[in-house]
Amino acid sequence: MAVPDRVVQNSWFNQQLGEDVDTWLQQNLTIKERRWMTEGEAMSDFCIEAAEKALDMASLSPSEIDLLVISTDTPDFISPSTASVVCHKMGFVNAASFDINTACAGFVVASETAANFIKSDRRYKKALVIGGYGMSRYLNLDDKKTVTLFADGAAAAILAETEEEQPYHLASDMRTRGEFYDYMGIYHGGNAHPTTLKSIEDGNQKLVFAKKFPKELNPIMWTEMIQAVADRGGFKVSDIKKAFMTQININQIWETMDNLNLPRETAPAIMQNYGYTGSAAIGMALDITVRRGELKKGDIFVMMGSGGGLTFACNAFKW
């Protein structure tokens, strides 16, 4: 994982918004601080840093990467892809690359995409997946509903083929609830609402919560999909050692663990120190957990993400 150096604590928002938001954030979301980019930094900078750490951890050189998949809804440019930027700067001379956008479900979708490339085409032996998030660039600093939650970061992982007969990529499930497409997003800057001087002056090219999501939606979908992945993967829910979840609401994560009769500590929480890092959050939680030595060979873990659109994605791997 890689995050900016700039730490923004809750107390900053108390001053910015003129009220105590720190108490609510800590009591309801556990968030104490988050990281934001500074002027001159780009989201790809943190993708590159995360990629370098992943290569070092795997003892691989850039030329050994066959495929790069970056998931982000905050790319460096509308076009070309951020993956092309990272490919060039990292020296991935042998890699095919592309971006995907499934918002905060992206790290799961990127890993699922890479796993299926490797399984279906022997040309792809080692794939690098990155979830990158630079949402601080799109926040209205006076909007209490968004500005206190979202943060920046990136996380990378390498998937490789195995000669072993047992599978390590176990199962997946993806679902789209498109009726929620207009509930939350950045709705200006694309073809539907092109960038204009007026849209910039009006502050329209910012993240907005346009409508309120049903609070029960995530726990219901997360519970159903993790159960479905366990059934397809041929393992019991009780076999899950870790569940890496979208880090938007600690109470919804705990409710899901309770629904599945799993200990709450099965789902590591990182939002207290990093806020909500969208498509990077699940990978960041995975990296922290791995570096703590909390995943052992043979352990089954699931990744469960949900993001604007709404897109839901879940998959399971054996470590």
pLDDT value at 204 more than 90:
no
Q: Beta-carbon neighbour count of residue 168 at 10 Å?
A: 16
Q: What pLDDT is recorded for position 145?
A: 86
Assigned token pair, 267 = 């789902």
> Quick one: what percent of the chain has pLDDT higher than 90?
82
Spatial separation of the C-alpha atoms in residues 76 and 160, rounded to whole Å: 27
DSSP β-ladder status, 33-35 and 67-71: unpaired
Multiple choice CATH, 7-160, 3.30.200.20, 3.40.47.10, 3.40.50.620, 3.40.1350.10:
3.40.47.10
pTM recorded for the entire structure: 0.94
The domain spans of the chain are 7-160, 169-318
- Residue 306, classed as helix, strand or coil, is strand
Dist. CA 157–CA 163, nearest whole Å = 19
**pLDDT at residue 2 is higher than 90:** yes
**pLDDT score of 209:** 79
pLDDT at res. 193: 77
Instruction: Give the distance, in angstroms, between the CA of residue 176 and the centroid of all CA atoms in the same chain.
Output: 17
Hey, do 7-160 and 169-318 end up sharing a CATH topology, with the first three levels equal? Answer: yes
The pLDDT tens digits of the residues spanning 221-280 come to 999 999 999 999 999 999 999 999 999 889 999 999 999 999 999 999 999 999 999 999
Query: Into which CATH architecture does domain 169-318 fall?
Result: 3-Layer(aba) Sandwich (3.40)
Map residue 266 onto helix, strand or coil: helix
pLDDT > 70: percent of the chain: 98
Give the tens place of pLDDT for each residue, 153-170: 999 999 999 988 889 999
